[in-house]
Structure 1
């Protein structure tokens, strides 16, 4: 018996299970188990992403080395940008989405652990940190394209936004826990490496558990009344092109803003390590509520228009936070900005599930997220160099314009229509 509750043939292809009583109208047992594993994996993957930024602030924030911070962040993001479409295509071809996610988490965890033990004063510190950032990014790059496709496969269209919101809330939990925990442990233990070790160990164990839970192909058939796979048919290339452009702008804004916030708080605002960790935890904790809320609202409203308003508002709030003199008024606007942009993550993935054919979902999602990663790579490197040479505040103000532009790009998205000609629910 397959761990997801569907029988699997000898060749690894699933057969249809008989519907179980009481399973109608939501996720089947297989979908619930899948959601739990992907959500907990998301905690660690996104925790590593923001954790990398916190570690760099601990290592280089007092020296204001924005250029080196930007280069290392770019290496991590570049690796994810190239890895996501490749792993997505591989998972489409093999159906082994769960195994890809599990082994990716193991590799990312080991690389993140090694990152913490590099001495910033050593002659090879820069190259080693870039190397480990590339390795961690290649492992983390298995998640967003593959795991979100896996969730879309076991989710009904009517609940897709909410379920993707729950899955993405795991990422917000990671972004909330890691900053304060890493900063506090680094101070108490006297070493960023020892602070990283518990999280990396948890990642290795969860990754191996995920591989064990998905020994065969992912389910491509579902219990009656519980899930609707993404539609079959030709790819809507115009829709995909607009989603790529939207992801390019949104991810460049969000990933770069979140990546530089710890160093900005230490170098510009003058916060110590614990205060920086506290502020980052407060700001990122908004996503725990934002992502399920955004997904749930998108099941009832037009996803494209909701996406546009949230992204434009996030860019404006981020700009306002930089102009505030008072720390806590600035933090409040930062929280609003992150709340709004994090609401958009399940919307983007739900839209992909609504429109993209199921046999291309992993590759298409990887292309969209990879384009965003490539944009963030370029933006992080550029922001780092410009902030080093000019004013960090002015450079980050320019960055906020990308959030507003991504909102404008989302206005052009058209909701798909159901076969009956009416707008499909939640689109």
Structure 2
């Protein structure tokens, strides 16, 4: 990576950290805020789904736009829209307005992640690219460590204060992004035939196995996040304090794996093998958690799950960027949309079937991962050119 891109990379990492802080900051206060506005469990689910639904539809649009007009303007649009919508959250006086602002936030902030990944792909190659994707993942993991803790602390004083705080952070970094993010797109892609569109034609896309991989990754992670608090409470008697500790641990594991280990692993093995190994670890972790007879082993199971997830996330996105040629933004946008679809369906499926049996979500998660590897594992491969770059 060229030296002039070190500062922009730092800005990108900070942006993704702030996005996930903003996503996580609402978690501890959201049930109370929605209850205060007269909503219940259905309203809470609708609020959470609205963000991912809009991401699903708009991430490809922003990705294609970044291929046409450049990464920098799209990133700036996403960051400024993200900050503004958090202020709108704080000013929402009723539930429909709050949900509408949540949908608007998903619409504009979905510009940040696929464009940031495309930006990283523009300035890196080979193992360095996977390492940079891992740094983005680590930043997002840190955001999910600090976000809920920050939201809980600020929410003690006011349910709206965390929203204003997150919005202020985003708008404060906007001038630095404007100043320090140069444009990296050298040749805009203006060929309509090469656009990646999110319709049934995407099944014929060579990257479709990786799009499915993104869905499975997000689907299983969302099922875990939705049900694990209930599962741990019923299985080993965990309460809010213990759950905060558990999510802090798995957040730290994600940061270590994606921020420190993934670059070394990819340099030796490429991207495809760690991605598939991560899927195997996640499947085994689900089986482990079903078996775990005590609290310590249950927590260790979550560590194994997060380790596998942290191997899957940066390597799969790196594979998409390496195999998408001059349409990285569009391909990563579709990749993120499949991830958003997983985040839409995961909580609905996990929460719905948990009432039938507390073990069922974990069985379904394990089976989904195994089926994905059986059906698509052989098609998830490194490009030879990139393997040569990695070993050079």
TM-score norm. by structure 1 comes to 0.77
Question: Which of 132, 149, 153 is the equivalent residue of 1:163?
Answer: 132
Deviation of the 1:185 alpha carbon: 3.1
Query: Residue in 1 aligned with 2:331?
Result: 364
Deviation of the 1:196 alpha carbon: 3.7
Q: Does structure 2 conserve the Cα–Cα contact (< 8 Å) formed by 1:39 and 1:170?
A: yes
Task: Within 5 Å, give how 1:1-400 maps onto structure 2.
Answer: 27-56=1-30, 67-95=42-70, 97-115=71-89, 124-125=94-95, 127-187=96-156, 189=157, 191-214=158-181, 217-220=183-186, 238-261=205-228, 272-292=239-259, 293-358=261-326, 360-387=327-354, 389-400=355-366
- Provide closer, same or farther for how the CA distance between residues 402 and 58 of structure 1 changes in structure 2, counting only shifts above 3 A: farther
Q: Does structure 1 conserve the Cα–Cα contact (< 8 Å) formed by 2:19 and 2:140?
A: yes
Deviation of the 1:247 alpha carbon: 1.3
Deviation of the 1:198 alpha carbon: 2.3
Q: Does structure 1 conserve the Cα–Cα contact (< 8 Å) formed by 2:135 and 2:258?
A: yes
Deviation of the 1:402 alpha carbon: 2.8
Moved more, 45-54 or 268-277: 268-277
Deviation of the 1:28 alpha carbon: 1.8
- Provide closer, same or farther for how the CA distance between residues 111 and 383 of structure 1 changes in structure 2, counting only shifts above 3 A: farther
Question: Structure 2: how far apart are the matches of 1:271 and 1:185?
Answer: 24
Structure richer in helix, relative to its length: 2
Deviation of the 1:288 alpha carbon: 0.8
- Provide closer, same or farther for how the CA distance between residues 67 and 39 of structure 1 changes in structure 2, counting only shifts above 3 A: same
Q: Does structure 1 conserve the Cα–Cα contact (< 8 Å) formed by 2:121 and 2:321?
A: yes
Deviation of the 1:43 alpha carbon: 0.5
Unaligned runs of 5+ in 2: 188-193, 197-201
Deviation of the 1:44 alpha carbon: 1.4
Q: Does structure 1 conserve the Cα–Cα contact (< 8 Å) formed by 2:278 and 2:307?
A: no
Q: Does structure 1 conserve the Cα–Cα contact (< 8 Å) formed by 2:90 and 2:163?
A: yes
TM-score norm. by structure 2 comes to 0.83
Question: Structure 2: how far apart are the matches of 1:265 and 1:129?
Answer: 31
Q: Does structure 2 conserve the Cα–Cα contact (< 8 Å) formed by 1:165 and 1:296?
A: no
Question: Structure 1: how far apart are the matches of 2:162 and 2:237?
Answer: 23
Deviation of the 1:365 alpha carbon: 0.8
Q: Aligned residues, how many?
A: 375
Instruction: Give the match's secondary structure for 2:390.
Output: coil
Unaligned runs of 5+ in 1: 1-26, 222-232
- Provide closer, same or farther for how the CA distance between residues 278 and 156 of structure 1 changes in structure 2, counting only shifts above 3 A: same
Query: Residue in 2 aligned with 1:413?
Result: 380
Q: Does structure 2 conserve the Cα–Cα contact (< 8 Å) formed by 1:256 and 1:380?
A: yes
Deviation of the 1:404 alpha carbon: 3.6
Instruction: Give the match's secondary structure for 2:64.
Output: helix
Q: CA RMSD in A?
A: 3.3
Question: Structure 2: how far apart are the matches of 1:254 and 1:284?
Answer: 13
